[in-house]
Amino acid sequence: MPIPVTIADDSMMSRKAVRRALPADWDIEITEATNGKQALAAVEAGKAEVLFLDLTMPELDGFGVLRYLHEHHAKTIVIVISADIQPEAKKLVDSLGAFRFLHKPLNPEQLSQVLFDVGLI
Amino acid sequence: MNNALGDEQRDALQELMNISMGQAANSLARLIEAKITLSIPKISSVTPSEFVAMLSSEGMWHTRQSFLGSVKGEVVSLQSRLGCEAIAELMEYQLPLSDTTREELLLELSNILAGACLSGFAEQLALTAKLSMPTVFDPEKLSPDHYRWANTLSMEVEFKIESSQFDSKIVICLEEDSISTLLNRLNSLLE
């Protein structure tokens, strides 16, 4: 059965960049979200076993999404992909239980390594 | 001009600026050990008089650098006068600032922020843009006639430090001839 994966980013180019970086032979079903609320809706609907999450988004930002998931002990594996790469952002993301913090522009090899580390591929 | 930039291209440009300013903010944040708040990049089409008007905000110090390469243009940075001492202190300058040390500070900030913004941007688009040394200037003395273009693209980003009056704007202005080069690269990223 394909793994449900959600890509949450308000930029279409960045959602595309994530799609492109995913291993071609990985059996997944992709949902796209353009803000934090949509990302949480995807989690609630069981469409996000893995969530690729941007931090700066309208409505609800990535920190808000992480906080909600953290408080609700969600089992979603969150991989943050962010343009804001300041130490402060990384610290907060780590404390909210994200699995990894990747920098934009996304490096496809780095992403594959992360998926391998978590045992997804 | 506005019509030439479609929704997808605007989205891409905005995201490229987001990434570049994230890199610029990270270099400054590590230097001063403070968190920097980033604005959403503003992308607009401007005429020389609009560009000059954009720069003539009071209470700011200005520096400019031109860049040359596969794209050409100018980067202007605006630093709030009130926030200068605060950032100078974080950067371990001796206070109060003299005219000379203030100029040094402005040029250093310009190099860190404008330099990183432009190089991040150019790198992602595989463009070359070599920056000249920054100089301090007075926008009052700037005339729209100085510019050889009629209409061009400007990208504006803002950096702030909460709890301090530090406020810095970076405006990248491309020459008219460089726009088609930029659009071509954007399109190949979007394919």
Q: Residue A104 sits in a domain of what CATH number?
A: 3.40.50.2300
**Chain B environment of A81 (Cβ under 8 Å):** none
Q: How far apart are CA B161 and CA B38, in angstroms?
A: 9
Q: With a cut of 60, say whether residue B69 has pLDDT above it.
A: yes
pLDDT attached to residue B57: 75
Q: Among residues 117-176 of chain B, which lie with CB inside 8 Å of chain A? A: 124
| Beta strand extents in chain A (DSSP E only) | 3-8, 28-33, 50-53, 77-82, 100-103
pLDDT in tens, B7-22: 999 999 999 999 999 9
| Residue B61 bridge partners (DSSP) | B79
CB contact under 8 A, A13 and B22: no
CATH for B2-190? 3.40.1550.10
Q: What percent of chain B has pLDDT over 70?
A: 98
- What one-letter code names the amino acid at B191? E
pLDDT attached to residue B170: 94
ipTM: 0.90
pLDDT attached to residue B148: 75
Q: With a cut of 90, say whether residue B163 has pLDDT above it.
A: no
Q: How far apart are CA A36 and CA A119, in angstroms?
A: 26
Which of B83, B88, B84, B90 lies closest to B34, judged by CA?
B90
pLDDT attached to residue B142: 77
pLDDT band at B3; cut points 50, 70, 90: very low
Tokens encoding B3? 């019509």
Distance, in angstroms, between A9 CA and closest chain B CA? 10
Of all residues in chain B, the one with the smallest CA distance to A14 is B15
Of all residues in chain A, the one with the smallest CA distance to B9 is A13
User: Do residues B157 and B41 touch, judged by C-beta distance below 8 A?
Assistant: yes
- What one-letter code names the amino acid at B23? Q
Q: With a cut of 90, say whether residue B37 has pLDDT above it.
A: yes
List chain B domain ranges. 2-190
**Chain A environment of B40 (Cβ under 8 Å):** 56
pLDDT band at B113; cut points 50, 70, 90: very high
pLDDT band at B151; cut points 50, 70, 90: confident
A 10 A CB-CB count for B90 gives 16
Q: Which whole-number Å values give the CA distances from B72 to A99, B67, B78, B118, B127, in the listed order?
A: 41, 5, 20, 11, 10
pLDDT in tens, A53-97: 999 999 999 999 999 999 998 899 999 999 999 999 999 999 999
Distance, in angstroms, between B118 CA and closest chain A CA? 15
Using CA of residue B16, residue A57, residue A36, residue A79, what is the dihedral sign?
positive
End-to-end CA distance of chain A: 14
* Number of structural domains chain A divides into: 1
Domain coverage including residue A20: 3-117
User: Do residues B54 and B46 touch, judged by C-beta distance below 8 A?
Assistant: yes
Query: Which of A7, A35, A86, A107 is the mutation pick for testing B, counting most B CBs within 10 A?
Result: A86
pLDDT attached to residue B28: 94
pLDDT attached to residue B2: 42
Element (H, E) at B24: helix B7-32
Mean pLDDT of chain B: 90
pLDDT in tens, A26-55: 999 999 999 999 999 999 999 999 999 999
Of all residues in chain A, the one with the smallest CA distance to B26 is A86
pLDDT attached to residue B188: 87
| Beta strand extents in chain B (DSSP E only) | 37-38, 42-46, 60-69, 73-80, 129-131, 135-137, 152-160, 167-174
| Residue B136 bridge partners (DSSP) | B63
Q: How far apart are CA A103 and CA A96, in angstroms?
A: 17
pLDDT in tens, B172-184: 999 888 999 999 9
CB contact under 8 A, A86 and B11: no
Tokens encoding A80? 């943050």
